[in-house]
Amino acid sequence: MRIDVDLYSDTVTRPTADMRRFMSEAEVGDEQKMEDPTVNLLCEMVAELLGKEAAVFLPSGTMCNEIALRVHARPGEEVIAHATAHPIHFETGGPGALAGVNMRSIDGRAASSTRPPSRPRSVRRTVTSRGAGSSGWSRRAISAAARCGRSRASMR
């Protein structure tokens, strides 16, 4: 039996009868206390796969995005993302409320493209706790952000 899994959203893939049976029979525990053997195994497998010391289970893409924004940007900074990026359209006030950052969309080819954004000049001059001046982004950094689909308002 072939199972089509679409990871675009956690609501797209519909579990089969076998998948539902497996879930209902799975050993469970409190994931918050690291007592869920299935989640623990998943985290161990991912950490090993990625060559990391540990992994953390995040149940939604939105949660992943919000944590990433909080880790990579400081409150008051601007995060640059492709105009079609999920946080721009579907996370609305989350980045501001949870990470204290402002979202800025830029046009360009799809995030997987190796071409730079169409308007690198759309990056604004900012005033931060480090004083007035440019955003700190070079054209090379802007191109890398567009390529990777990852943006960070403050490049060192």
DSSP string over 134-149 = --S--HHHHHHHHHHT
pLDDT tens per residue across all 156 residues of the chain: 676 777 666 677 778 899 899 989 989 999 889 899 999 999 999 999 999 999 998 888 888 899 999 998 989 888 888 888 888 888 888 999 999 999 988 876 554 454 555 545 566 655 444 443 444 455 555 555 555 543 333 343
CA torsion sign for 19, 20, 22, 26 is: positive
pLDDT, tens digit, 9 for 90 and up, residues 22-43: 989 989 999 889 899 999 999 9
Q: Check: pTM over 0.85? Answer yes or no.
A: no
pLDDT, tens digit, 9 for 90 and up, residues 130-144: 443 444 455 555 555
